Chain A
Amino acid sequence: MSEYLGEYKAVYKAKSACGDILGKAQDGGIVTSMFAYALEAGIIDGAIVAGPGAEPYKPEPMIATTIEELLAARGTKYSISPNMSLIKEATRSYGLDKIGIVGTPCQIQAVRKAQLYPIGLRDVPDKIALAIGIFCMENFPYQGLYQMVEDHCATKIDNVTKMDIGKGKFTVYTERGAHAEIPLKVTHKYEQPACHVCLDYVANMADISTGSVGTPDGWSTVMVRSKAGEAAFQKAVDAGWIVAESMDGVKPGLELVEKLAKTKIDNNRAYLEHRKHEGTLLKPLRSPYI
């Protein structure tokens, strides 16, 4: 238990043991491998993931019921994919009984809130089997992302093979091997304003949270939080889908995760405080936490 990282049972340095998945994965391919294993093992019968949309890097939520569909959705998209919008449809025309869902911390909060107050979500709460959260500092609207890539990085977005945020930089890689990077400072103005009131960095309410921060390249940090998450992760490791190692001695390790979480949350708390005086006509802006 930590003020900034929430409650968790265990934390690992992990990566997928499956070459197919790692090939195009963001880091350790944990989300894809976990869902692929859970599909195979019958823990879930479908997963709501950020699939490819009509335009490059504009994700659209999709329900993957096969490993092939999961593979199509590999990799991080830095624009929001409204995965919660499919949570009800998954139990309806898709006929799923055990749903996996991946989401940013705010989306996982929505999952839990929906389970607590299932208004308009009859027979949905008990069908959510595995919620995987991803570490999230902030998110970009598609137009913002487009401008960062096309204008700041001077790269055609259609040619981009991977985007990455790490070590204080936003980097895009292209098919031809070229890559462009810009300091994160430049990207701040493109962030979604709502991200600045978010007090969650590592998806505190997920069954499993994962992200690249804290572990070397090609690996992911995995925080196992719930009983369901613990059981599923352990089985995936035992079945050889995921390689997991202790975080002891890993550099930069959990300290960096905590440091970034602290940065995000403290900054956003300060912004929430600021909002009290920001409104016009002496009216404070609404706090999202009341």
Chain B
Amino acid sequence: MSKVVEISPTTRHEGHSKLVLKVNDEGIIERGDWLSITPVRGVEKLAIGKTYEQVPKIASRVCGICPIAHTLAATEAMEASMGVEIPDDAYLMRIILQAANRLHSHALHDILALPDMYLPGTDSKINPFSPEEPVRSVAKRIQTLRMIGQTIGEIVGGEAVHPSNTRVGGMYKNITPRAKAKIYDLAKQALPLAREQMEFMINVFENYGKRDWAEMCGREVAIPKDLGFHQQGYMATDPMYGSSSLDEHPTWDPSRWLEVRPWDWYMGEEEITLEDEAYPIGGTTKAGTKAWPQMQACTGVPLYDGQPIEVGPRARQAIFKNYDRKGAIGLNIAREMEYMDSVYKMIEAVDALNTSGSTVADVIPQGDGSIGWASNEAPRGSDVHLAKVRNGKVEWFSMLVPTTWNFPTCSRALTGAPWELAEVIVRAYDPCVSCATHMIVLDEDNKLVAQKLLE
């Protein structure tokens, strides 16, 4: 006889989401739904009628963790619709910005993921805020890496959160030679730290993968060897930066993409029949409460070739490097392995940057209403923005953000895991929920209808 348990809200990630889990008598998940309950942002509707300069700035406000990804994706979607080619130096600056964002975001994820993990060789969980070694020096290293990422983002982007220096057609200002030297120094400082951090974290995650049990709700919960495995495919557009419809060989295909309503992919109304007061923080939802994932999910369900897919660090490595480690641990390790490239790419780009070069395109056409898309490989996966610009005004704008892709995929990855460890699987996706919330359309009977997207 299966029971239903609800963890609401889920913690230690950005945004507001919950888990509704159908479990068997042993507490193993038979069917899990992870859904966003963040209220709709409405950015896509706000964008209509605004100028192409305004929309990327508005789009970046959807979230404060990866505003750089949203700014770049939205800016490039405008450029793709209008057919703007940006100068090389502007492109290099965007790569530096991208790498800086990834460095800071992955470091932030480490802080969020560590409390689930054990210090290798012990049975004590890691408290990243503990003043004791070796944890204190790890926390310091994480903060130094974040400081470096954010400072470089500030220099190149004008602002680490919501970069102001990016613009349609390139970048407003090039940086000075002194700023270039500073970025170089900071990146060189980050290099050994990133390597140490990567090795430490991989060791910690591998150790968790080898453990038989984890302590949850005051009891030992068996860790299955296939924690977080799923059968869905991967989608990624570039190992580092992204792709757009202006590319000679675009790596994303809008005709393979379809967005449907959560009605088809989530559970119907369920009554909560299992509760556990010992679950952090404050216990799970009380028994007797109703949950209705179909109606409560605030996201659309994007499909690629008719199936949910995974995006993110593992997807990038699976597609471009044949990485084949599955499960929650595999995903976490893939993320750690991206540390080094974000620093190397930063150094390479700053090396190639000409500080006296022009950073704005000579010609900026005002758009003829044709559709353009740009994908940015945000820390959490492909962030695809689509736009139609006509005579300088945005006619239509859509954001397909990483965690929207991951919601239904991760829901499938929950099957087979003990419900107490469901959040460990969710956190492996480094979810960033607020931008994943999508505009929904209701018909006369207040029923959700699928959005008609690409005409």
Size category of the binding interface on chain B: 10 to 19
| CB-CB nearest in chain A for B147 | A123
Are A93 and B159 in touch, CB under 8 angstroms? no
Q: Give chain B residues whose Cβ lies under 8 Å from the Cβ of A123.
A: 151, 154, 160
Residue B175 at the chain A interface, CB threshold 8 Å: yes
Cα A93 to Cα B153 in complex, Å, equals 10
Residue B158 at the chain A interface, CB threshold 8 Å: yes
Q: Give chain A residues whose Cβ lies under 8 Å from the Cβ of B183.
A: 95
User: Nearest Cβ distance between residue B356 and chain A, in whole angstroms?
Assistant: 13
Cα A65 to Cα B175 in complex, Å, equals 14
Q: Give chain B residues whose Cβ lies under 8 Å from the Cβ of A122.
A: 154, 159-161
A-B contacts counted at CB < 8 A amount to 43
| CB-CB nearest in chain B for A96 | B178
Are A92 and B158 in touch, CB under 8 angstroms? yes
Are A94 and B176 in touch, CB under 8 angstroms? yes
Q: Give chain B residues whose Cβ lies under 8 Å from the Cβ of A93.
A: 155-156, 158, 165, 173-176, 179
Residue B225 at the chain A interface, CB threshold 8 Å: no
Cα A228 to Cα B325 in complex, Å, equals 56
Size category of the binding interface on chain A: 10 to 19
> Which A residues between 94 and 126 are near B, CB-CB below 8 angstroms?
94-97, 122-123
- Given A91-B154, A92-B158, A122-B159 in contact, is the A65-B165 Cβ separation under 8 Å? no
Are B160 and A95 in touch, CB under 8 angstroms? no
Are A95 and B161 in touch, CB under 8 angstroms? no
Cα A123 to Cα B160 in complex, Å, equals 10
Cα A200 to Cα B104 in complex, Å, equals 44
Are B179 and A94 in touch, CB under 8 angstroms? yes
Residue B182 at the chain A interface, CB threshold 8 Å: yes
Quick one: CB contact mask for A120-148 with B, threshold 8 Å, 1 for yes? Answer: 00110000000000000000000000000
Cα A46 to Cα B151 in complex, Å, equals 18
User: Nearest Cβ distance between residue A69 and chain B, in whole angstroms?
Assistant: 12
Are B159 and A95 in touch, CB under 8 angstroms? no
Cα A122 to Cα B67 in complex, Å, equals 16
Q: Give chain B residues whose Cβ lies under 8 Å from the Cβ of A91.
A: 154
* B contacts, CB < 8 Å to A: 151, 154-156, 158-161, 165, 173-176, 178-183
Q: Other than the known A91-B154, A93-B176, A122-B161, what 17 A-B pairs have Cβ atoms closer than 8 Å?
A: A45-B178, A65-B176, A89-B173, A92-B155, A93-B165, A93-B173, A93-B174, A94-B176, A94-B178, A94-B179, A95-B155, A95-B179, A95-B183, A97-B182, A122-B159, A123-B151, A123-B154
